[in-house]
Structures are given as structure tokens and as C-alpha cells.
Chains A and B, each alone.
Chain A
Amino acid sequence: ILNVEQSPQSLHVQEGDSTNFTCSFPSSNFYALHWYRWETAKSPEALFVMTLNGDEKKKGRISATLNTKEGYSYLYIKGSQPEDSATYLCAYGSSNTGKLIFGQGTTLQVKP
């Protein structure tokens, strides 16, 4: 059974704080790691797709790193804003078929 674990499950921070979450995935048969941002009542929004060990991606105040050998990825948010409040999902692709295995998500609440 392939398991993708995310921690913490939820997080409350003050506006302006920087924060990070973890995604753990099987290190064998790795193909790709996806990060999504999901606001309530909306579609999951794609943030990053990462494929190479050591990959670092950045989009505005959000960045992510990837370690395929030990099976983890970190998502960082610098200077959190209330509009960053959402659930952040990671998803692991282990083959070329496009099938993604999702973690349970980390729900971030940023207080003004």
C-alpha cells in the first residue's frame, strides 16, 4: 500500500509569520510530486510539479523542495497572509500512468 503522509494536519499562524509543512512519500518508484492549494468550495489549484531530487520551485511567497532519496517534500510560505488560508495537498505519482496518490492535506489558517 502506497501511503502519502502530510504534517501537521492543521496549522494556525498570525499574519506575517512564515511557515512550512511536510509531505512524506515512498522513495521507491518515484515519478513526480505535485502540490495543490485547495480553498473551500473551489477546485484544487496546482502549485508545483517536481520530478528531480533536489528540485526547488518558487511561486511568489510559496516555495517547495524535494528529496526523492529519503521521500519527503517541504512547502514553505513566507510572510503568510489571510488569503493563504487553505488546505495544501501533496500528491505522489509512482508511474507513468498519471495516477496520483494524495495526502490528507495540511489546513492552514492565517489570522489577521
Chain B
Amino acid sequence: NAGVMQNPRHLVRRRGQEARLRCSPMKGHSHVYWYRQLPEEGLKFMVYLQKENIIDESGMPKERFSAEFPKEGPSILRIQQVVRGDSAAYFCASSRPETSTDTQYFGPGTRLTVL
């Protein structure tokens, strides 16, 4: 049973470009969470999605960031017009269709560098 997959593992973008980060949850998992780790900081919640629904986006910056989890295919975190402050490690986690008492399994992360 493959774990949570994220790609790319490393992404370099110039200021103003778009970044697309992909996350494929574990088999049988229909809940996806995105977290961000800024340099010298801990993991911070961004968004929680179920298939075709955003459940909680209270941690998402109001502008330039969006997330989706379509019926088919991976979850996508999209950052438009990237700025240097977006440089961070972005982690995706998935869980079974349970509550916050269920384990969230993490992917290896995507390290975004904005030049």
C-alpha cells in the first residue's frame, strides 16, 4: 500500500510565476490536508479537503492560494504570482473518512524555492 505521494519534491519558481503542488492520498483515504512549514517555523495548517469539497480553509492566505481535490486525480495546491515569502516546505496528509481522531499520514513534502 503506497503512502501519500507528493510531487514534485523540489520546485523552483521565479517571482510572479505559478506553482502547482500535487498530492495523491493513500489508497482508501478521502480526506486531504495541506500544511506549510516556513523556514525556522513549525507545521501550520492550511486547508482540509474532501473529494470535491473544501471543508476548512481557515489557514489559507486570502489571496493567491487555492486548493482543490477533484473527484478524479490528485489534490492540487496552487499558488499564483509567487513571492519570496512563499518559499517553504508544503506537506500533504491524508486520512480515512473519519474525524480528527483518525491518524493523518504525511507525504514527503514539496520544497518550494522562489527566486
Which residues of chain A have a CB within 8 Å of any CB of chain B? 31-32, 34, 36, 42-46, 49, 51, 89, 91, 93, 95-105
- With contact pairs A34-B104, A43-B108, A44-B106 given, residues A96 and B99 touching in the complex (Cβ less than 8 Å): yes
The reply to whether A97 and B55 contact each other, CB–CB distance below 8 Å, is yes
The reply to whether B108 and A42 contact each other, CB–CB distance below 8 Å, is yes
The reply to whether B108 and A97 contact each other, CB–CB distance below 8 Å, is no
How far does the Cβ of B9 sit from chain A's closest Cβ, in whole Å? 10
The 27 listed contacts between A and B (C-beta, < 8 Å) are A32-B99, A32-B101, A43-B3, A43-B4, A43-B91, A43-B105, A44-B43, A44-B91, A45-B106, A46-B106, A49-B102, A51-B101, A89-B42, A91-B43, A93-B100, A96-B100, A97-B56, A98-B31, A98-B99, A98-B100, A99-B33, A100-B33, A100-B35, A100-B45, A100-B100, A104-B42, A105-B42
- What residues of B have a CB within 8 angstroms of the CB of A43 in the complex? 3-4, 91, 105-109
A31 vs B101: C-alpha distance in the bound complex, in angstroms?
7
The residue from B42, B95, B109 contacting A102, defined by CB atoms under 8 A apart: B42
The answer to whether the Cβ of B64 comes within 8 Å of any Cβ in the partner chain is no
The reply to whether A97 and B100 contact each other, CB–CB distance below 8 Å, is yes
The reply to whether A103 and B99 contact each other, CB–CB distance below 8 Å, is no
How far does the Cβ of A9 sit from chain B's closest Cβ, in whole Å? 11
- What residues of A have a CB within 8 angstroms of the CB of B95 in the complex? 98
Which residues of chain B have a CB within 8 Å of any CB of chain A? 3-4, 31, 33, 35, 41-45, 48, 55-56, 58-59, 91, 95, 99-109
The reply to whether B101 and A46 contact each other, CB–CB distance below 8 Å, is no
A89 vs B31: C-alpha distance in the bound complex, in angstroms?
21
The reply to whether B100 and A99 contact each other, CB–CB distance below 8 Å, is yes
- What residues of B have a CB within 8 angstroms of the CB of A31 in the complex? 99-101
